[in-house]
Amino acid sequence: MNARTEFVSLNGTKLAYRRFGKRGGNPVLYFNHLRAAMDVTDPLLFNYIAQYREVILFDDIGVGHSEGEVPSSVEQMGNNAVALVNALDLDKVVAFGFSLGGGVAQYVSWTYPDLVEKAVFSGTQPGIGPNITAGPPEVFTIASEEGEPTEKAMLTLFFETTETSLAAGRDWFKRRTDRRVKGEKLSGSVLEPGVTAQLKAISDFTADPSNFGKLKDIKVPVLVTNGKNDIMAPTINSFILQQELSNGTLHVYPDSGHGHLFQFPKQYAQALQQFLDG
């Protein structure tokens, strides 16, 4: 995670990214969650993943170290990511998306199938379809609170109410900003008007029933993961998502919620390695 920040130009707008980890095989391209930038992305999880596979983190347009205005559609977010892939002259990637990023990873997987080796949809949900359940509206009120997200808010949104889950959540919240690189300043989370733009992207994507139907167009192997009790993207939706895929595997983690991948970073990286090597 101490890789330096680099930039590509997308139609004259600078997009920031970092590459690190073991070369060989197609890199893991990570699509981040609501309001997140590279500088608040779990270093422990991605250091574990980087032990066996190259990782590419990036700040979408308008986020973190990148220039421009935050996109208000999943489609534009996905197209920006593909423009990065093309700028780096990559043949294929592993499309790994969490939360909002999981929707972007879905879009990239069915729109640009030749670019995706395998995909990982973590703590996310498809477009509206049979038996899809919406999370309680108050979670998005908490998620969009003014200013930098607080520890209290993130524990509520991402972790279970048990002491073991909350303790893991506190550890995660503290280590998110552990990365220090000389000459680089830390960027913050997405603030307004970017938050509203990202929430619109989520709402439009999940309200579109055609996005549910397009899941059957994804032919590559997909790992779907979630915690036992996700209040942001209800866990039942992960099961339905996996059932709609032609080649999907579901992994549900105990005593955890939306942020299960941060609660079990080593185990998650090991499961990802097994999936990618299988």
pLDDT tens, position by position, 12-68: 999 999 999 999 999 999 999 999 999 999 999 999 999 999 999 999 999 999 999
Asked if the model's pLDDT at residue 180 lies above 80, the reply is: no
Tokens of 122: 């973590």
- Mean pLDDT within 249-256: 99
So what's the pLDDT on residue 278? 87
Assign 107 to helix, strand or coil.
Answer: helix
pLDDT band at 181 (very low <50, low <70, confident <90, very high): confident
So what's the pLDDT on residue 1? 64
Tokens of 121: 């949809």
So what's the pLDDT on residue 9? 98
- Mean pLDDT within 129-154: 95
Decide: 197 and 70 in contact? Cβ < 8 Å: yes
Domains present along the chain, CATH in parentheses: 6-277 (3.40.50.1820)
So what's the pLDDT on residue 178? 86
Q: Pick from 99, 233, 255: which is nearest to 166 by CA?
A: 255
So what's the pLDDT on residue 169? 98
CA–CA separation, 60 and 43 (whole Å): 18
So what's the pLDDT on residue 226? 99
pTM of the model: 0.96
pLDDT digits (tens, 9 = 90+) for 90-101: 999 999 999 999
Assign 253 to helix, strand or coil.
Answer: strand
Would you mind telling me the total number of residues written for the chain in this entry? 278
pLDDT digits (tens, 9 = 90+) for 183-204: 888 898 999 999 999 999 999 9
Tokens of 243: 């059932």
DSSP 8-state code for residue 5: P
